[in-house]
Amino acid sequence: MDREQISRLAHADHPIAAPLDDDSVRRLLEHGIPRDDARVLDLGCGGAEWLLRAMAAHPRLRAEGVDVSEGSLTRAREAARVRGLRERLVLHHEDAAAFTAPHAFDLVISVGATHAFGGLPATLAAAREHLAPGGRVLVGDGFWAHEPSPDAVRMLGDLSDLPTTVDRVVADGWTPVHGHISTRRELDAYEWAWTGSLASWALDHPDDPGSSRALAAATTHRGEWLRVYREAFGFVCLVLRPTSG
């Protein structure tokens, strides 16, 4: 059982791989999509759940997703087919940081994937390259809601607090026009879904060779969440427009 299989099982009941509930996702997309026939790009799209929801809400919207995980893209393709959205979705199996397109996009999404670029500023710089005039970026990243322990920093990286995070984005030439700070309920629901789905699968498949590994991964993850980062970690999504240009 590799990390990708673990992640697939862990997200079985929470297809958005970030601590946001369905209503928050819907509202963020509403604020990010500037028109019905928008062209939308998701860098680090995973199972393309953001794109699928955007297409379902806007019958003329066209979507493209980029991810390095072939397994996630295969699931995205299948989900798009089942929901009748396949013809409007293009998926690219490549490094999001190296992705180029022959056209610009009205909305560039990157949620929970800033590590693919080396941090939030680099993610926004990449998104800017893809942006059409009047376009928006919807970015989601972690921040420290409380002073982190050294173990939390080791685990989740060198984040800033929320005001500093937003100040840096603004200094970088962006204006937030909407945002969402994940609530305690959303943060906890995501972790319970992650650990609970994985543990349930393990208990339902005791004879599978990956069962004990899956149960151990769920137990380890739950312990790290509760002991190391639950109090310190926060997650924010911002809808951004370039301040000028």
Structure tokens at 189: 């629901």
What is the smallest separation between the CB atom of 154 and ligand SAM, expressed in angstroms? 18
Q: Return the residue nearest ligand SAM (CB atom).
A: 46
Candidates 220, 213, 212; CA nearest to 195 is 220
**Residue nearer to ligand SAM on the CB measure, 2 or 167:** 2
Site for ligand SAM (CB under 6 A): which residue of 76, 79, 113, 124?
Answer: 113
Q: Which residues, at least 6 apart from 174, have a Cβ–Cβ distance to it below 8 Å?
A: 124, 137, 238, 240, 241, 242, 243
Q: How many CB atoms lie within 10 A of CB 77?
A: 16
What is the smallest separation between the CB atom of 113 and ligand SAM, expressed in angstroms? 4
**Residue nearer to ligand SAM on the CB measure, 123 or 147:** 123
What is the smallest separation between the CB atom of 116 and ligand SAM, expressed in angstroms? 3
Establish if 108 lies at the interface with ligand SAM (CB under 6 A): no
CA angle at residue 115 from 38 to 225, to 5 degrees? 110
Establish if 9 lies at the interface with ligand SAM (CB under 6 A): no
Place of tokens 């963020």: 28
Establish if 195 lies at the interface with ligand SAM (CB under 6 A): no
Q: 20 to 79, contacts with ligand SAM by CB under 6 A?
A: 44-46, 49-50, 66-69, 72
Place of tokens 């959303």: 186
User: What is the rounded CA–CA span in Å between residue 120 and residue 114?
Assistant: 5
Residues near ligand SAM (CB under 6 A) are 16-18, 44-46, 49-50, 66-69, 72, 95-97, 111-113, 116
